[in-house]
Amino acid sequence: MAQPEVPSPEGDAEERRLIDRSAAGDQEAFRQLVLRHHRLVINVAFRALGELSLAEDVAQDVFIKVHNALASYRHDKPFNVRHAIANLPPHYRDTIALQAFGELSYDEIARALDIPLGTVMSRLNGAKRLLRERLGDLVSPWEEANTA
Tell me what pLDDT residue 34 has.
92
The hierarchical CATH code for the domain 9-145 is: 1.10.1740.10
pLDDT in tens, 83-132: 777 789 999 998 988 887 777 889 989 998 999 999 999 999 999 888 88
Q: How many Cα atoms within 13 Å fall on the side-chain side of residue 101?
A: 26
Check if the beta carbon of residue 63 is closer than 8 Å to that of residue 101: no
| Element spanning 18, H or E | helix 9-23
pLDDT-derived band at 75, boundaries 50, 70, 90: low
The pLDDT of residue 143 is above 50? no
pLDDT in tens, 4-63: 344 444 557 888 899 889 989 999 999 999 999 898 888 877 776 778 888 898 888 888
Residue bearing the bigger pLDDT, 136 or 14: 14
Report the alpha-carbon distance of residue 111 to residue 82 in Å, rounded: 26
Tell me what pLDDT residue 3 has.
34
Report the alpha-carbon distance of residue 32 to residue 19 in Å, rounded: 10
